[in-house]
Amino acid sequence: MSFRDTVYKITAKIPKGKVATYGQIARLAGNAKAARAVGMFMKKNPFAPRVPCHRVVASDGKLTGYSAPGGIVKKKSMLIHEGVMFKKARVDLSISRWSES
């Protein structure tokens, strides 16, 4: 399985109400230094909504990039609707970070 396919497979596991970081996905996929590549895969995600790219955020909880209509505003709205907790403009990772079991 390619790195790209592994990234999409991992991202598909993130449940509603939780998020993962680009770096977290990169580490789980086997290349801890590939967070930017994960971001590019999310930008070009051909499997949405089965692969919920809106549930991937920056390492500090900041919402970065969302290429679907509505951009970041839509991404935040979707995450709030799913139960993700925020502290101001950032996801509260202490509560909403996904941990693959």
Look at the alpha carbons of 22, 74, 72, 43 in this order and tell me if their dihedral is positive or negative: positive
14 Cβ neighbours under 8 A, 6+ residues apart: 20, 52, 55, 56, 98
Q: Is 53 a catalytic residue?
A: yes
Catalytic choice (53, 78, 79, 91): 53
Just list the catalytic residues: 53
